[in-house]
Amino acid sequence: MFSSSSLFKTRISAHFLDAFVCEGELVTVEGWLTFYDEREKEWKPLDGRIKFYLDGKEIGEAEAKAGSFSFSFLSPYIGRHKLDMKFKAPGYEPSYRSLDFEVVKAEKKSNVLRMARLAFILIMLLVIVLFLSIFIAKQF
């Protein structure tokens, strides 16, 4: 049964826009802040402030509007790092989300992008060859 004195459950969902980050680049995380409406039995968008911590140190906050938020910060030194997001407000249970990421050298990022581009071209060539072979097979 729903009680007006109980706290709403909250949830933070988030992801990085770029999977590979170089030292000195801008890192952007986007996400959603939601609460669970017990009466309607569904998750709904929530407005509120989310605090961000990089490797345990607070680096800023973002405002979630209609549940959606975005936060950018300058990437730290090369290596593995942890970004923590925390939400706390009266009437709602606090929520927490953590994302790990790695800052890499620029050469590694360009190699990965080159490989992804090559894979895309090979897949497109394969699709063209398949279409041509089907077209040629129907001619005979």
55 and 80 inside one domain:
yes
84 and 111 inside one domain:
no
Nearest CA to 95 out of 71, 67, 123 is that of 67
How far, in Å, are 16, 21, 101 from residue 24 at the CA level? 16, 9, 14
Query: DSSP class of residue 92?
Result: B
Pairing of strands 21-22, 95-104: parallel
Express each pLDDT in 95-137 by its tens digit: 999 999 999 887 766 677 678 888 889 999 999 988 888 888 8
Express each pLDDT in 13-64 by its tens digit: 999 998 778 888 999 999 999 999 999 999 999 999 999 999 999 999 999 9
85 and 114 inside one domain:
no
Burial of 83 (0-12, 13-18, 19+ CB in 10 A): buried
Residue 137's domain spans which residues? Answer: 106-140
72 neighbors 17 (Cβ within 8 angstroms)? no
What's the total number of domains in the chain? 2
98 and 126 inside one domain:
no
- Report d(CA 82, CA 85) in Å as an integer: 10
135 and 120 inside one domain:
yes
86 and 113 inside one domain:
no
14 and 66 inside one domain:
yes
